[in-house]
A and B are shown apart, each in its own frame.
Chain A
Amino acid sequence: MAAVSAPPSQPEPQIRREDAGDGSARLLLAGTWNLQALGRRAAEISAKLQTYAADPRAAWDLTGIDRLDDAGAVLLWRAWGARRPDRLLLRSEHEAFFHHLAHAEHPPRRRRGFSPLNAALGTGRFALLMADHAAGFLNLVGQVVIESLRLLTHPSHIPWRTISANVYRAGAQALGITAMVGFLIGVTLSYLTARQLKIVGADIFIVDILGIGIIREIGPVLAAVLVAGRSGSAMTAQIGVMRVTQELDAMAVLGISQIQRLVLPRVAALALALPLLVLWTDFSGLVGGILAAEVQLDVGMQDFLLRLPDAVPVSNLWLGLSKGLVFGVLIALVACHLGLRVRPNTESLGIGTTNSVVTSITLVILVDAAFAVAFSHVGFR
């Protein structure tokens, strides 16, 4: 069996203090002063050095150091208070370390904390940004209008294929999710109101509540929110990635209209697809509501469908569908506006996509409220 030899002695940083004779101290540094050797002992050695360095007349002799690296040099430099001591002996090959340190710059100090000026500047910047967004959005709307008018006079230029691809992605592929969510909301709404109606014995009014509620409000808003989350974010990301990959620049220098190629097909597609999705969501919501009503209240499907045309004037349906159209145009415009504003970096792409969803959902709800006020006399008996 081989004898276990003692591990080779680790090279250590060494400091020795000597009296120079004239009352001042001589500090002899030797050994290895690199990152490995200092490692865990850095704090201890640093404290030791600092106490020695407190004496300005001390003479430093670094010639005994056989290995020095930047970490060791920085440790010494900090102990010396970021300057060379008056009396310093140094190997010539180590000179470079301290030469660099003497020229290293401090990182710029960052101002932090609250100040009234910063708050005012921040508010001002935010206001300017919002104004910039408003101007940009208005500009986009104007260009879309001009481009649509131009296309009406040149129908052969209408990008049918892009429009149909977008209708498929934003509309057809959203049928599943809108049906499911619509159905569940219908069930829930019916279930909750049924209990109240039973108490007052007004069972048949479930038709009015579900009919008006779903066709006029819940269907359009639900479909719009789902489309904003599904397609609005996708549109912003698609256009934003084209900025990152310089495809937008390539279009610009080729003289290809971004409005015609990117914005208009998306706006047209959502203007077409969202009303259809609203109809579909209404349908699934009512199916859910009818099923729940049948279970809870003995209002059968036939009673429900017979009463529905009387309880819900058809103007409610038109109102819901026109809301769908407006929401669709709005979502597509917001998505394209924010997509075109993405800067060529990934951070900006993420922010743009988030903002697209948040802004379009907020706008949908705001516009819905405006509709509710403006059309408060329409669609009731």
Chain B
Amino acid sequence: MRDRTAVIEVRNLHTRFGRAVVHAGVNLVVYRDEVVSIVGGSGSGKTTLMRQMLGLDRPARGSVTVFGCDVHRGDPRELARLRTRWGVVFQEGALFSALSVFDNVALPLRELRILPKDLVRDIVMLKLEMVGIEARHASKLPAELSGGMSKRVGLARALALDPELLFLDEPTAGLDPARSENFVSLVGTLRQELALTVVMVTHDLDTVAALSDRVAVLADHHLVAIGTLPEVIRADHPFIESLFRGERGRRALGAVPPELQVS
């Protein structure tokens, strides 16, 4: 049985950009050790929801609590501690373009200002090894990396401080199928090894099917369904219908029992 401690609690979240309503009362709880995928169409506000969980965007109403700390109104010192407990992989990697691969991964460690130099070096090389980046790439600048490598270095940086919680923004967008499968299995392995709680925003159904314990579907300003993949597929909503039961959806979810595959 899974641990039911809540890691993230999103309560009654409202978001609007000008007159456009994005979220109207979103509630979501993420529990320890689970992988939750947030799926939704373009413009459904899934990336915005994640940015609000990270405290990068402020909601119009409602609150987001991560590890019991309100990310928008919490005490700055507590928030600083919180930021060492999570790791984020951005869609394009968001590596610091002025720093080498090594320095990108080393930065969060150096920022702690407590680790000796040689320890930092060993930790960085270990993290790079974990994500499958060879040592000869360590001195390269982000501009010299391919998309897949940037993402893996981004993952190494996110894992630098051994976080308990990992956010992935479109982990497979922009990767070719082989590489995205590679990345997904990498995340799957690391998640087992490191006992990570993972929140992932994606619209790639293969990734959803491969990694998620629970799926949250964002449509029409609300979470229209949340649960395990078979539960969500059974839910009655036009967006879910078109997403999972379309041609692509059926192909991606080959493992799902045929009686659910409504034609």
Interface residues of A in 253-308 (CB under 8 A from B): 253-256
Interface residues of B in 76-95 (CB under 8 A from A): 79-80, 83-84, 86, 88, 90-92, 94-95
Q: Mark A150-162, 1 if CB is under 8 A from B, else 0.
A: 0000000100000
What CA separation (Å) do A157 and B112 show in the bound complex?
A: 11
Question: Contact between B94 and A246 (Cβ–Cβ < 8 Å)?
Answer: yes
Known contacts A253-B83, A255-B80; A247/B56 CB under 8 A: no
Q: Pick from A242, A246, A253, A254: contact of B107, CB below 8 A.
A: A254
Question: Contact between B90 and A249 (Cβ–Cβ < 8 Å)?
Answer: yes
Known contacts A249-B56, A250-B88; A256/B111 CB under 8 A: yes
Is A175 interfacial (CB-CB < 8 Å)?
no
Q: Pick from B55, B91, B97: contact of A252, CB below 8 A.
A: B55
Question: Contact between B86 and A253 (Cβ–Cβ < 8 Å)?
Answer: yes
Interface residue count for B (Cβ, 8 Å)?
23
Question: Contact between A255 and B83 (Cβ–Cβ < 8 Å)?
Answer: yes
Known contacts A255-B111, A256-B107; A250/B83 CB under 8 A: no
What CA separation (Å) do A258 and B54 show in the bound complex?
A: 16
B112, chain A: closest CB distance, angstroms: 10
Question: Contact between B84 and A255 (Cβ–Cβ < 8 Å)?
Answer: yes
Question: Contact between A247 and B96 (Cβ–Cβ < 8 Å)?
Answer: yes
Closest chain A residue to B83 by CB distance? A255
Question: Contact between B113 and A247 (Cβ–Cβ < 8 Å)?
Answer: no
Interface residues of A in 128-143 (CB under 8 A from B): none
A264, chain B: closest CB distance, angstroms: 15
Question: Contact between A245 and B94 (Cβ–Cβ < 8 Å)?
Answer: yes
Question: Contact between B83 and A245 (Cβ–Cβ < 8 Å)?
Answer: no
Which residues from A are CB-within-8-Å of B90?
246, 249-250
Question: Contact between B55 and A250 (Cβ–Cβ < 8 Å)?
Answer: no
Which residues from A are CB-within-8-Å of B62?
none
Q: Pick from A252, A255, A256: contact of B56, CB below 8 A.
A: A252
A232, chain B: closest CB distance, angstroms: 19
Question: Contact between A250 and B84 (Cβ–Cβ < 8 Å)?
Answer: no
Is B108 interfacial (CB-CB < 8 Å)?
yes
Which residues from B are CB-within-8-Å of A255?
79-80, 83-84, 111
Question: Contact between A247 and B94 (Cβ–Cβ < 8 Å)?
Answer: yes
B128, chain A: closest CB distance, angstroms: 17
Q: Pick from A241, A246, A251: contact of B91, CB below 8 A.
A: A246
Question: Contact between B54 and A253 (Cβ–Cβ < 8 Å)?
Answer: yes
What CA separation (Å) do A250 and B55 show in the bound complex?
A: 12
A246, chain B: closest CB distance, angstroms: 4
Closest chain B residue to A252 by CB distance? B56
B105, chain A: closest CB distance, angstroms: 11
Which residues from A are CB-within-8-Å of B92?
245-246
Q: Pick from B79, B84, B97: contact of A247, CB below 8 A.
A: B97
What CA separation (Å) do A247 and B91 show in the bound complex?
A: 11
Closest chain A residue to B57 by CB distance? A249
What CA separation (Å) do A247 and B92 show in the bound complex?
A: 10
Closest chain B residue to A256 by CB distance? B111
What CA separation (Å) do A157 and B56 show in the bound complex?
A: 26
A247, chain B: closest CB distance, angstroms: 5
Q: Mark B111-149, 1 if CB is under 8 A from A, else 0.
A: 101000000000000000000000000000000000000
B237, chain A: closest CB distance, angstroms: 23
Closest chain A residue to B104 by CB distance? A250
Question: Contact between A245 and B97 (Cβ–Cβ < 8 Å)?
Answer: yes
B84, chain A: closest CB distance, angstroms: 7
What CA separation (Å) do A285 and B245 show in the bound complex?
A: 76
What CA separation (Å) do A135 and B54 show in the bound complex?
A: 24
A132, chain B: closest CB distance, angstroms: 15
Q: Mark A15-46, 1 if CB is under 8 A from B, else 0.
A: 00000000000000000000000000000000
A159, chain B: closest CB distance, angstroms: 12
Which residues from B are CB-within-8-Å of A245?
92, 94, 97
What CA separation (Å) do A251 and B88 show in the bound complex?
A: 10
Which residues from B are CB-within-8-Å of A247?
94-97
Closest chain B residue to A238 by CB distance? B98
Question: Contact between A254 and B111 (Cβ–Cβ < 8 Å)?
Answer: yes
What CA separation (Å) do A252 and B111 show in the bound complex?
A: 13
Which residues from B are CB-within-8-Å of A250?
88, 90, 94-96, 157
A348, chain B: closest CB distance, angstroms: 15
Q: Pick from B51, B79, B83, B167: contact of A254, CB below 8 A.
A: B83
Which residues from B are CB-within-8-Å of A254?
83, 107-108, 111, 157
Which residues from A are CB-within-8-Å of B113?
157
What CA separation (Å) do A255 and B157 show in the bound complex?
A: 13
Candidate in B84, B86, B111, B167 with the most chain A CB atoms within 10 angstroms: B111
User: Which residues does B use to contact A, with CB under 8 Å?
Assistant: 51, 54-56, 79-80, 83-84, 86, 88, 90-92, 94-97, 107-108, 111, 113, 157, 167
17 additional A-B residue pairs with CB within 8 Å, beyond A247-B94, A249-B94, A253-B86: A245-B92, A245-B94, A245-B97, A247-B95, A249-B51, A249-B54, A249-B56, A250-B88, A250-B94, A250-B95, A252-B54, A253-B56, A253-B83, A254-B107, A254-B157, A255-B80, A255-B83
6 closest cross-chain pairs (CB), A and B: A255-B83, A246-B94, A250-B94, A253-B88, A246-B90, A254-B108
User: Can you list 18 pairs linking A and B with CB atoms under 8 Å apart?
Assistant: A241-B97, A245-B92, A246-B91, A247-B94, A247-B95, A249-B51, A250-B88, A250-B90, A250-B95, A252-B54, A252-B56, A254-B83, A254-B107, A254-B108, A254-B157, A255-B79, A256-B107, A256-B108
